[in-house]
Amino acid sequence: MAEGIRDKVAIIGMGCTKFGELWDKGAEDLMVDSFQECIEDAGIEKKDIQAAWFGVHFEEQSVGKGATSMALTLKLPFIPVTRVENFCATGTEALRGACYGVASGAYDIALALGVEKLKDTGYGGLPGGPGLMGPRNALIMPKLTAPGSFAMMATRYFAVYGLSPEEGKKMLAKVSAKSHHNGSMNPKAHLRREITVEQVMNAPIIAWPLGLFDCCGVSDGSAAAIVTTAELAKKFRPDPVYIKSLQIALSSGEELMYTKWDGAHVETGFRAGVLAYKEAGVKDPRKEISMAEVHDCFSITEAVTMEDLQFSPRGKVKDDIEAGRFNLDGEQPVQPDGGLKCFGHPIGASGLRMMYEMYKQLQGKAQLPERQLKNPKLGLTHNMGGFPAMNIVSVAIVGL
Amino acid sequence: MAGIKSFGAYIPRYRINHNTIFSAVGFLGTFPPPGENAVANHDEDTLSMAVAAGSDCLDGLKREEVNGLYLATTSQPYMLRQNSALVAAALDLENNIRTADFLGSNKSGTSALLSAFDAVKADTSNILVCASDCRVSKPGSSQEPLYGDGAAAILMGSDDIVASLEGSYSVSYDFPDRWRATSEKFEHSWEDRFIRDAGYTKMIPEAISGLLKKYNLAITDFTKIIFPDLYPREHAAIVKRLGADARQIQTSLLDKVGDTGSASPLMMLVSALEEAKPGDKILVASFGSGSDAMFFQVTEKIKNITGRRGVRKNLETKKELASYEKYLAFRNLAPVELGGRGEIAFRTPMSTLFRERETVLALCGSKCKKCGTPQYPRQRVCVNPDCGAVDQMEGYRFSDKRGVLFTYTGDNLAASIDPPAIYGLVDFDGGGRFWFDITDCDLDSVKVGMPVEMTFRRRYVDEGGGVYGYSWKAMPVRA
């Protein structure tokens, strides 16, 4: 009977570059930066790594196909390196691969590294490309952009819960303002300016009803983790961070092609959450999850994710947002590092960047004291890739 | 008896006033006559309009009973790749049909109609004739304020005839009034006085007189007389010379739609049929490289034709295009900035397109025989989570289904010639949901729950591959 990987694998080292429009750094530079910080933090040498998982999404933008670019860049000595890609959950998928490699008993020490170099397209937003359906994308689908596809969820959320555009946009503005506040304190974040609710509401429209500040940045970055077995972990450091659960869920087509989905939530988010809570033994996520880094590619995504992950009751996230529940000093801080909103979303790196924040917070090592949360017990990361009607969601839970 | 079984038409939503054109490029020419032209939206062309007119014509009829499709136009997107076959695919007609393109002259619409008539008489088939033109004229040219975009469709058959074709008479001349070589974007024309005096006022009367003589008819026998109104004064002179009464003359669409080329005589015929009574006789003559004249006798069955948008309803649904510059952008007559995102090249995989032709061109998906769930695009495994049947599907056409808008956005980031790009999820009446572009509307008027219908459009141009990409979009249900 399968029992999951709870408490079988521990993270013993992590690295994360500064995120941003890094015009003077290529994907290879970013890989070296996150990797060096990571192995120094773990106190190991490169030769100790027995296998590696490499996450990158838009390979045509930066490193090319396969995993050879990482092996070559880091000069990994003929070890197995696997490239994974699963939309915005790519970074978390790299971590999942490394954790399963260790949990299976195949390896003692494994590396997960994610990278993305987005700022080499010459235009704003994510790179265009074949998207979700291969050639059928261009043949039958609208030219959906990321903001457009999530804007459709905002439109739907407002309609289902009877919010006027003004009320809805105000709720979302508070989500973005909160994250900018957190990001302003984080030296590794891309966007480090405080913004007001009024600024968010009055920003130019990108895809109605979402404005500029409802959208996360577009940045370059890399993050990495070294994992080992729970038995070996304490030999490397006194404060390893244990994997409590690592789950993903994918759309079945029901949301996009069947007519039952309400369009105001992400079904995979709910399903992945349920799987993760079961694996981690979490009964009441609203009470038990101390902090979370969720996939706030857009303000609406964070809002519905609070409901999908059962932090807030369905349709009631507005009350929690207004009560400040998810603020840095609230009952359940979300995006303590500033989130995708301030870090941007170098796709292959994001999941590991989120984990970096959870890892540092659990260890009490957030860079500045004003960012450090008090005694967090369980941290959750959440990635959502694709569009609300057709996507993948990953949920990871970690603790000391 | 053979003749017209059904008819339909299409006029695009936008109209541009002749004054708008004159105020932009009037310095190049003379003041145009008052009126407005129908202008195809940026995602419309000859083929999309032909499909719209064809859908109107086939409303309520069985598509499998159509045995052929003839397309008449002078503005076909493809020189090689049969345009009529593409229109037939979009209309989800059967494969065992005859298709043909009638090109190169403004009389191609009537020529296609006569050829369809011959085919129907020969083997009692049903042939759908679509005449459609979306002619691009050089900015500032004398054609620009005269040419309009539109389409007509006429189903020719041998039973349930609403107007029987009783006879015809054709004349053909290599008349070089207008010409365009294969590689050219714009047409050339000889001076107007030549076209008017050596062609228009000679060839139309020659065809009509020939018809009257051949069938021993008098011009006064006709309830309605239709021929192109290119020069108002000479138009009146022809009427007078034929001995006809001005009340017999079918009202021209010149000041409301413009000269729609090969579609023009057929659109006027549709207009006449919309008002016709049993027993009416209708005379139609075209003009271009000669003239085709033909006459119809309206039957009792005309009363059975209902629910068509035809010319009348299409004339009522309109929105002014107040910007000449936008018109230039729509017709790709002025280079406009689409941003880096708009420059991403896409090579159309033709074998994929052929394999998925019913999905892409006909908007056909699947319907599960076990649970009855319609789904798009086609699936082999049923999407209903309580069913999941494998390979229990039958084809299901969504193009003629209405739906409601489940959600939407207006996207300023997506590359579009007419931003914001409006798109959303459509829930079809009877089941099925998918993403679609939403066209022919303004963002402010779009609402969740809004009723929509489907429309065949040109979705992209693959310039490197020389491919025009078509598929279906949603639009608000028209009044």
pLDDT in tens, B338-354: 988 888 888 899 999 99
Q: Is the pLDDT of residue B279 over 80?
A: yes
| Beta-carbon separation of A152 and B424 below 8 A | yes
- B365-398 tens-digit pLDDT: 999 999 999 999 999 999 999 999 999 999 999 9
CATH of domain B3-330: 3.40.47.10
Contact (Cβ atoms closer than 8 angstroms) between residue A153 and residue B407: yes
What per-residue confidence (pLDDT) applies to B187? Answer: 95
| Beta-carbon separation of B379 and A257 below 8 A | yes
- A154-173 tens-digit pLDDT: 999 999 999 999 999 999 99
Name which of A159, A208, A257 is nearest B410 (Cβ-Cβ): A208
Distance in angstroms (rounded) separating the CA atoms of residues A117 and A63: 9
Supply φ then ψ for residue B101, to 5 degrees: -100, 135
| Beta-carbon separation of A258 and B406 below 8 A | no
What per-residue confidence (pLDDT) applies to A147? Answer: 97
Distance in angstroms (rounded) separating the CA atoms of residues A396 and A375: 19
Name residue B10's beta-bridge partners.
B151
AA identity, residue B409: T
Name which of A128, A135, A143 is nearest B352 (Cβ-Cβ): A135
Domain ranges of chain A: 9-122+220-226
Which of A140, A149, A271, A391 to mutate to probe the B interface, most B CBs <10 Å? Answer: A140
Contacts of residues A228-235 at CB distance under 8 Å and 24 or more positions apart, as own/partner, are A228/A9, A228/A10, A228/A12, A228/A102, A228/A108, A228/A109, A228/A110, A229/A8, A229/A9, A229/A10, A229/A102, A229/A103, A229/A108, A230/A7, A230/A8, A230/A9, A230/A10, A232/A108, A232/A109, A233/A10, A233/A12
| Beta-carbon separation of B410 and A207 below 8 A | yes
Name residue A398's beta-bridge partners.
A243, A379
Distance in angstroms (rounded) separating the CA atoms of residues B127 and B94: 12
* Alpha-carbon distances of A134 from A129, A138, A220, A344, B349, rounded to whole Å: 9, 8, 25, 26, 11
- B19-37 tens-digit pLDDT: 999 999 999 988 888 999 9
What per-residue confidence (pLDDT) applies to B124? Answer: 78
Residues 102-141 of A with CB under 8 A from B: 121-125, 128-129, 135-136, 138-141
| Beta-carbon separation of A263 and B406 below 8 A | yes
Distance in angstroms (rounded) separating the CA atoms of residues A51 and A33: 19
Across residues A368-389, what is the average pLDDT? 96
Across residues B416-428, what is the average pLDDT? 97
Contacts of residues B21-27 at CB distance under 8 Å and 24 or more positions apart, as own/partner, are B21/B144, B21/B145, B21/B324, B22/B145, B23/B324, B24/B139, B24/B324, B24/B325, B25/B139, B25/B140, B25/B144, B25/B324
What per-residue confidence (pLDDT) applies to A387? Answer: 95
pLDDT band at B419 (very low <50, low <70, confident <90, very high): very high
Q: Which residues of A touch B352 (CB under 8 A)?
A: 135-136, 139
In this complex, is the C-beta atom of A256 within 8 Å of any C-beta atom belonging to chain B?
yes
CATH of domain A9-122+220-226: 3.40.47.10
Q: Is the pLDDT of residue B412 over 80?
A: yes
Which tokens go with B270? 């549709």
Q: Is the pLDDT of residue B1 over 90?
A: no
Closest Cα in chain A to B343: A128
Phi-psi group of B288: left, alpha or beta (phi > 0 → left; psi -120 to 50 → alpha; rest → beta): left
Q: What is the gyration radius of the CA atoms in chain B, in angstroms?
A: 23
Contact (Cβ atoms closer than 8 angstroms) between residue B249 and residue B282: no
Q: Which residues of A touch B420 (CB under 8 A)?
A: 205, 207-208
Q: What is the gyration radius of the CA atoms in chain A, in angstroms?
A: 19
pTM of the model: 0.96
Across residues A371-384, what is the average pLDDT? 97
Angstroms from A207 CA to nearest CA on chain B: 4
Q: Which residues of A touch B437 (CB under 8 A)?
A: 142
Domain ranges of chain B: 3-330, 339-363+398-476
Across residues A376-390, what is the average pLDDT? 97
**Percent of chain B whose predicted confidence (pLDDT) is above 70:** 100
pLDDT band at A314 (very low <50, low <70, confident <90, very high): very high
Distance in angstroms (rounded) separating the CA atoms of residues A261 and A152: 13
In this complex, is the C-beta atom of A207 within 8 Å of any C-beta atom belonging to chain B?
yes
Q: Does ipTM surpass 0.85 in this model? A: yes
**CATH number of B339-363+398-476: 2.30.30, 1.20.1300, 1.10.287, 2.40.50?**
2.40.50
Q: Which residues of B touch A136 (CB under 8 A)?
A: 352, 356, 359-360, 377
| Beta-carbon separation of B413 and A145 below 8 A | yes
- B303-330 tens-digit pLDDT: 999 999 999 999 999 999 999 999 999 9
| Beta-carbon separation of A148 and B409 below 8 A | yes
Mean pLDDT of chain B: 96
Q: Is the pLDDT of residue A131 over 80?
A: no
Specify the residue for token string 């006809």.
B244
Angstroms from A68 CA to nearest CA on chain B: 27
What per-residue confidence (pLDDT) applies to A1? Answer: 78
| Beta-carbon separation of A123 and B339 below 8 A | yes
Helix (H) or strand (E) holding B150: strand B150-157
What per-residue confidence (pLDDT) applies to B38? Answer: 98
Distance in angstroms (rounded) separating the CA atoms of residues B223 and B225: 7
Contact (Cβ atoms closer than 8 angstroms) between residue B42 and residue B330: yes
In this complex, is the C-beta atom of A23 within 8 Å of any C-beta atom belonging to chain B?
no
What per-residue confidence (pLDDT) applies to A60? Answer: 87
Strands B281-285 and B290-298: antiparallel
Q: Cβ atoms within 10 A of the Cβ of B136, count? A: 18
- A27-56 tens-digit pLDDT: 999 999 999 999 999 999 999 999 999 999
Q: Is the pLDDT of residue A122 over 70?
A: yes
Largest CA distance in chain B: 74
Contact (Cβ atoms closer than 8 angstroms) between residue B15 and residue B320: yes
For the four alpha carbons of A319, A324, A327 and A333, in that order, the dihedral sign comes to negative
pLDDT band at A130 (very low <50, low <70, confident <90, very high): low
Angstroms from B454 CA to nearest CA on chain A: 13
Distance in angstroms (rounded) separating the CA atoms of residues B221 and B248: 10
Distance in angstroms (rounded) separating the CA atoms of residues B197 and B189: 14
Q: Which residues of A touch B384 (CB under 8 A)?
A: 258
Q: Which residues of A touch B432 (CB under 8 A)?
A: 257, 259
Distance in angstroms (rounded) separating the CA atoms of residues B286 and B170: 9
Which positions of A are annotated as active-site residues? 88, 345
What per-residue confidence (pLDDT) applies to B262? Answer: 97
What per-residue confidence (pLDDT) applies to A128? Answer: 83
